Amino acid sequence: MALYKTESLYIPDDAGIFDHWEVNGKEAEIEMIEINGELCPYLKDPITEELNIVAVFRLNEIKASVSSSANDRGSASVAEELPYLYGEQITLTATPADEHYSFSGWSDGSVDNPRVVTLTQDTVIEANFAANTYNVSVTIIPEGAAVAIGTGEYPYGDDYTINLIPNPGYELKEWRDGIALGNKTNTLSGKVYGNVHLEAELQLRSFTILTEVNDADGGIVEGAGTYKYGDEATLTAKPLAHYVFSAWADDPTLPAERKITVTGDATYKALFEKETVTLTVGVNDEQMGSVETNVEELTQPYGTEITLTAKAQKGYKFIK
């Protein structure tokens, strides 16, 4: 029986674990006993020659996994094969699913791709991917006829909604993206699968100008009809026989022929009145008689009925 003390190469506790003993280069079973507070190898057989006793350690196996945070956007892989040992370097590669996605970084903050990782502990790393963004734009025809809300950058696969706000006097004629879309409402929605370029064609709104009169026998108004926004319309009030134009109901200061700028549906009323006539009456001799009427003024509107009464003085009589 003999005792023999030996030393071994130090390996950090988290890097490796004891595997076996070797004596003169061959694996051997050696019992460890404590002597004076130190562990020493215990050899059962007598020592008859110089012995080289080595404690053999092996590196810890490290668990490492890599995955994608969204499998539909991309995948992640490791170039090296299992098992992984402490201190080993592995190469991670993130691959987007297609041209619509891009690698955005690893879960530990690194953005290198591919990247090399030195394993010192169990490791779990995720690859993050982001959808590429595409531009949604709208061309207004004619320029300045409306404002489009909702244009800009959208991630692949997202929904977009464009709200069209026509300027006064304009209305949407149609949406186009190379062909007419058939949508004539001011809101258009769709999905982003690439850059989207839309055209919104607008047209001037049509409005109806109506006219009326206070007396159908008094006159007419010319110029009523359908006009585009911003058109200039001419309205002319024309009296019929024995009538005269009096005024426009909305603005008495304007003449019979007036011009208006069309900005919406509207009705304009012309006022007519009968022309006035003056009746002159007299007698051949004021000493013989006089003429009385049923009105105080002899100037009256055309068609007014006036009663004349001839009154002879005493001694005279009405002849005709």
Q: Tell me the percentage of the chain whose pLDDT exceeds 70.
A: 88
pLDDT per residue as tens digits for the range 250-278: 999 999 999 999 999 999 999 999 998 88
φ and ψ at 192, to 5 degrees?
-95, 110
pLDDT per residue as tens digits for the range 162-219: 999 999 999 999 999 988 788 889 999 999 999 999 999 999 999 999 999 999 999 9
Q: In this model, does residue 135 exceed pLDDT 80?
A: yes
What is the rounded CA–CA span in Å between residue 129 and residue 133? 12
Average pLDDT of every residue of the chain: 86
Mean pLDDT of the 218-246 span: 97
Angle among Cα 129, 135, 137 to the nearest 5 degrees reads 160
Q: With contact defined as beta carbons under 8 Å apart, do 234 and 259 qualify?
A: yes
Residue 19's pLDDT is 65
Q: With contact defined as beta carbons under 8 Å apart, do 124 and 91 qualify?
A: no
pTM of the model: 0.65
Q: In this model, does residue 6 exceed pLDDT 90?
A: no
Q: With contact defined as beta carbons under 8 Å apart, do 41 and 32 qualify?
A: yes
Mean pLDDT of the 35-60 span: 69
